Structure 1
Amino acid sequence: MAHRVTGVLIFFFLFAHVLDTALVRVSPEAYDSVIATYKTPLVNVMEYGLTAAILFHALNGLRVVAVDFWSKGPKYQKQMLWSVVGVWVVLMAGAFYPVLQHTLRTWFGG
């Protein structure tokens, strides 16, 4: 279920991204206004969520491929799921400061 949810979230991000990029053709001023809203702390936290969704979707996609194409995949799918979650947690911890540094500096100074 999480794989499907992250896939839908990524799709909506890509849809919004295409729309806001296309806005530059219609009105450069409107495009600049939209881009300015992306520099807020709330959107920065949403970027971290997007990072989480993309990483989980990619790692779990590899697990799904392994379950489908490896003869022992179904037997080890639970262990592979926990491996995916473990790797995802480590990668998300490593992405915390690089993705959120702007917001952290805004909230805590420095």
Structure 2
Amino acid sequence: MWMWVVHRVTGVAIFFFLVVHVLDTALVRVSPEAYNVVIESYKTPIYGLVEAGLVAAIVLHAFNGIRIILVDTWPWALRHQRLMVWIVWGIFALMMLAFLPRHLSHVFGGA
């Protein structure tokens, strides 16, 4: 049940990011100066942490979605659902461990 909640929360977070992304990109047609101000505000450490959260939501949502497809398609996957949840969390952890050091070094002033 918790993975159901996680999948819905990450899906809603990704949806709201996409809405904001479409709106801020559309702003360039209305006022290029306002667009530049908005884009400049995205270069702050706080937004860098938000980006890390967005990447985490996308990675978790994607791999959990694959798990859901497997469970819905093959009977053997339904029997091994708990193992597959742990595999999803393991892949998520590995991908975030690979992503976060480099991303956060850029966010907080590294090269």
Do Structure 1 and Structure 2 share a fold, with TM-score over 0.5?
yes
Cα deviations by residue, 1:12-50 (Å, 9 ceiling, x for unpaired): 000000000000000000000000000000000100000
Deviation at 1:73, TM superposition (A): 1.4
Partner of residue 19 from structure 2, selected from 15, 27, 44: 15
Report the counterpart of residue 54 of structure 1 in structure 2: 58
Report the counterpart of residue 83 of structure 1 in structure 2: 87
- Could you tell me the percent identity over the aligned residues? 50
Report the counterpart of residue 30 of structure 1 in structure 2: 34
Q: Where does the alignment leave 5 or more consecutive residues of structure 2 unmatched?
A: none
Partner of residue 102 from structure 2, selected from 70, 73, 98: 98
Distance 1:104 1:60 in 2: 30
What TM-score, normalized to structure 1? Answer: 0.93
What TM-score, normalized to structure 2? Answer: 0.92
Contact 1:24–1:31, Cα closer than 8 Å, also in 2: yes
Distance 1:103 1:17 in 2: 19
Distance 2:7 2:23 in 1: 25
Aligned residues: 107
Counterpart secondary structure, 1:39: coil
Cα deviations by residue, 1:40-68 (Å, 9 ceiling, x for unpaired): 00000100000000000000000000100
RMSD: 1.2
Runs (4+) off by over 6 Å: none
